[in-house]
Structure 1
Amino acid sequence: MSWLQAIVLGIVQGLTEFLPISSSGHLRIVSQLFFDSDAGASFTAVTQLGTELAVLIYFAKDIGRLLTTWFRGLVDPPTRQTLDYRLAWYVVIGTLPIGILGLLFKDEIRSSARNLWLVATMLVVFALFLAAAERFGPQRRTVEHMTLRDGVVMGFAQAMALIPGVSRSGGTITAGLAIGLDRYTAARYSFLLAIPAVFASGIFSVPDVFDRGTGPQPSVAQMVVATVIAFAIGYATIAWLLNWVAKHSVYIFVWYRLLIGFGVMGLLSAGVLTAT
């Protein structure tokens, strides 16, 4: 892997991880379009460690409070009645679908699921789902009204993002809006829900990213730089997105997804891009 590719992909990861437009899909498209190769699912997973570190720092107080309350609630029954205790359990239970399905379909996620026709199709299809959720979702409920059912539904929506093009944040925000959560609550919970799964995926993928048998191989230095870049840009993106969804609809992301999805389909049909 060249230094230019590592830096560009780090920037793309940081810009797209938290937006409902699919970071893995964008890394796949940019790799193929500008560098004529696929950086691979492992590269994506490791650079996500940078963006999730940004989440840890940005939400440090919230995460610390949730963890403290959760551990206290395991031995202190009155604590189990608090919102933080319930929310912590929602994150734990909501993480299970992506963890289980990720292990079951690990090989497919790293091979056939990265076909650009599938990526482009998912960008378009889930753009329509996001638009429908924005248009018809009641958006009246805040975090205080969340239930275990909400955590499970958003957990399965997050698992859909194992397919590049779906978008982890896009899937969870779509599900959140569809079940009546307001945009800010859906986006904020989406960030918290991603932490366990993304960190686990990134750590387990570290050995694979340096496997000399597949794709363009980054050096350790390139991997570190790409991850640091993703962290810095990702941190700024979190603040921007939370501010945006609190005041605006998500239609801008819908139109962007449709533009990119149909654009990739056109390039594939013209032979400019190869699907695999």
Structure 2
Amino acid sequence: MELVQWIILALLQGLTEFLPISSSAHLILPSQVFGWPDQGIVFDVAVHLGSLIAVVSYFRKELLIMSKDWLQSVKLRQPAFSAESKLAWAVLLGTIPVGLIGLLLNQFISANLRSAWVIAITTVVFGLLLGKADSCCSGQRNEHQLTFKDVLIIGAAQALALVPGTSRSGITITAALFLGFSRQAAARYSFLLSIPVIVLASGFELEQMLAADMTIHWGYLILATAVSCVSAYACISIFLKLMDRISMRPFVIYRLLLGAALVGLLLSGVIR
């Protein structure tokens, strides 16, 4: 890929990684519509690293307290030692379903579900589901009130995001809203839950990159990481501030329009 393509795709990835609108639905358009080459594993490593730096930086104070309290809870063998230790356990345990499903079904999903039609359908279906959850079920529960049942349900929902077009943040926020959490709490837990997932994905991709014995354009990689990081950080900050003022409706409408556009492009033969 050319440098400008790296920048545009890194910006897209950073902006859509944490919004409930599906990053995969956006990254398919440049390659399918404009004929851009596949991003490749080096690009994936760069943008995931950027997203990881962004979310860890944003929640650095909370993560520091959570880590300290989690270690204390392990030492005392009391998972609910404090509200922060309980939240740390919720993040770790909520990652298990996606880790297991990823190990078991990653090859099947890669071979059978990474099509434009799948992305178009899931973009619309899970957009409607997000709208339903937001209109009927969002409540006042906060992320410190998570129960084991909540963690299991939201963690299982996150595993669905392995199907392209679902949106990891979208499906976890949807599940949390259905369980009566506030929009703010649903988003915050979703973003915290992304940290171990991105770490796992980055580690897997990094291993593949190192094993491939390929030429790495380190300048491109560093730039893509920086662009992804800055755009993702801005996205997290603005999104959480907006949650107190708006509903999920704009994102639902956007997903429906994006899904309709993908279907139109598929039917017209522009993308396949």
Normalising to structure 1: TM-score of the pair?
0.91
8 Å CA contact 2:79–2:86 kept in 1: the answer is no
SS state of the match for residue 20, structure 1?
A: coil
8 Å CA contact 1:47–1:230 kept in 2: the answer is yes
Name 2:191's counterpart in structure 1.
191
Name 2:218's counterpart in structure 1.
220
Q: Does 1:28 align with 2:28?
A: yes
CA drift at 1:202: 1.1
- Structure 1 residues 218, 23: closer, same or farther in 2, change over 3 A? farther
Structure 1 window deviating more from structure 2 (154-163 vs 13-22): it is 154-163
- Structure 1 residues 82, 40: closer, same or farther in 2, change over 3 A? same
Name 1:143's counterpart in structure 2.
143
Name 2:239's counterpart in structure 1.
241
Partners of 1:114 and 1:213 lie apart in 2 by 25
CA drift at 1:85: 1.4
SS state of the match for residue 38, structure 1?
A: coil
Name 1:259's counterpart in structure 2.
257
- Structure 1 residues 45, 23: closer, same or farther in 2, change over 3 A? farther
What is the aligned counterpart of 2:230 among 207, 226, 232? 232
Aligned residues: 272
Partners of 1:126 and 1:213 lie apart in 2 by 38
Name 2:68's counterpart in structure 1.
68
Name 1:270's counterpart in structure 2.
268
What are the superposed Cα offsets for residues 86-133 of structure 1, whole Å, 9 maximum, x if unpaired? 111111110001111111122234343220000011000001100110
Q: Which amino acid aligns with 1:167?
A: S
Name 1:204's counterpart in structure 2.
204
Partners of 1:179 and 1:43 lie apart in 2 by 36
SS state of the match for residue 162, structure 1?
A: coil
Partners of 2:216 and 2:98 lie apart in 1 by 27
What are the superposed Cα offsets for residues 205-235 of structure 1, whole Å, 9 maximum, x if unpaired? 0243588799xx9733323221211001111
Partners of 1:159 and 1:79 lie apart in 2 by 24
Name 1:13's counterpart in structure 2.
13
Name 1:120's counterpart in structure 2.
120
CA drift at 1:76: 2.2
- Structure 1 residues 265, 71: closer, same or farther in 2, change over 3 A? same
Partners of 2:45 and 2:176 lie apart in 1 by 24
Partners of 1:76 and 1:210 lie apart in 2 by 40
- Structure 1 residues 103, 40: closer, same or farther in 2, change over 3 A? farther
Partners of 2:40 and 2:125 lie apart in 1 by 23
- Structure 1 residues 271, 230: closer, same or farther in 2, change over 3 A? same
Partners of 1:45 and 1:175 lie apart in 2 by 28
CA drift at 1:36: 4.0
Q: How does 1:41-190 map to 2 (within 5 A)?
A: 43-44=43-44, 46-76=46-76, 80-190=80-190
CA drift at 1:138: 4.0
Name 2:248's counterpart in structure 1.
250
| RMSD (Å) for aligned C-alpha atoms | 2.2
